[in-house]
Amino acid sequence: SFLFEYDTPRMVLVRNKKIGLTFRLIQLIVLAYIIGWVFLYEKGYQSQDSIVSSVSVKLKGLTLTNESTMGPHIWDVVDYVFPPQGDNSFVVMTNFIVTPGQKQGTCPEVNALASFSWLSFCNSGGDCEQLSLFPTGLMTGKCVPYNSSVKTCEIFGWCPVEVDDHVPTPALLSEAEKFTLFIKNSITFPKF
């Protein structure tokens, strides 16, 4: 039966110059094709493809601030990273200025911008151009008291106006340097 059979290949040595030359010529043609066409001309070993890449970034960390105007506050990723979903970048906030009770409404313009100080001082409503854009809001055209001795133009915007000439030092979110940043870069070559 075929289960108990054993085959061995038989090797035949032919001493003929024509057959030997034909055999070596075929080998040479195959070798020339591989070296000449595939490697040198087509550069088959240097096949190229475009990449499909994606980068994802994840930031982890918590910090605590105890600002007198806000009280204790825990800051999470949602609070200190913007924009929340990146546009090829992200920013980690490390400091901020608190303006308690700020909401949209009308209020006197703060004379904090030295380059615009001549715009905000006034003596009467005629000094304030109505519907004129100011760096902190839209002028209403009214001249209102800022304090007991100074009058400024009234604006419609975020009130009270932020006074940013006293930036907290050290930075309120200085713990941001200890946050963990995960960067995942995934690259694939679809052809391969």
155-169 tens-digit pLDDT: 899 888 887 777 888
pLDDT > 70 fraction of the chain, expressed in percent and rounded: 91
Is 79 in the same domain as 170? yes
Is 81 in the same domain as 174? yes
Q: Which residues contact 90 (CB under 8 A, 6 or more apart)?
A: 57, 59, 81, 82, 83
Q: Residue 9, preceding bond cis, omega within 30 degrees?
A: no
Strands 180-188 and 52-60: antiparallel
The pLDDT of residue 113 is 47
- Indicate the range of 10-14, 93-97, 115-119 predicted with least confidence: 115-119
23-80 tens-digit pLDDT: 999 999 999 999 998 888 888 777 778 889 888 888 888 888 887 777 888 888 888 7
The pLDDT of residue 6 is 75
Is 86 in the same domain as 171? yes
Answer whether residue 115 shows pLDDT above 60: no
Is 70 in the same domain as 155? no
Whether 56 is covered by a domain: the verdict is: yes
The pLDDT of residue 111 is 57
Answer whether residue 114 shows pLDDT above 60: no
Is 112 in the same domain as 31? no
Per the prediction, the chain carries an average pLDDT of 82
Measured CA to CA, the distance from residue 180 to residue 192 in angstroms comes to: 34
Domain encompassing residue 135 = 103-159
Tokens 């007991």 correspond to 148
DSSP 25: H
Is 19 in the same domain as 42? yes
Measured CA to CA, the distance from residue 116 to residue 138 in angstroms comes to: 14
How many independent structural domains does the chain possess?
Answer: 3
Amino acid identity of 73?
A: H
pLDDT > 90 fraction of the chain, expressed in percent and rounded: 11
The pLDDT of residue 187 is 92
Whether 1 is covered by a domain: the verdict is: no
Whether 142 is covered by a domain: the verdict is: yes
Q: Which residues contact 93 (CB under 8 A, 6 or more apart)?
A: 79, 80, 81, 82, 173, 176
The pLDDT of residue 46 is 77
Is 127 in the same domain as 175? no
Whether 134 is covered by a domain: the verdict is: yes
Q: How far apart are the first and last CA of the chain?
A: 47
Is 131 in the same domain as 38? no
User: Do residues 120 and 130 lie in contact, with contact meaning Cβ atoms separated by under 8 Å?
Assistant: no
Cα 68 to Cα 23, 57, 173: the distances in Å are 94, 33, 15
Tokens 């601030």 correspond to 65
Answer whether residue 117 shows pLDDT above 60: no
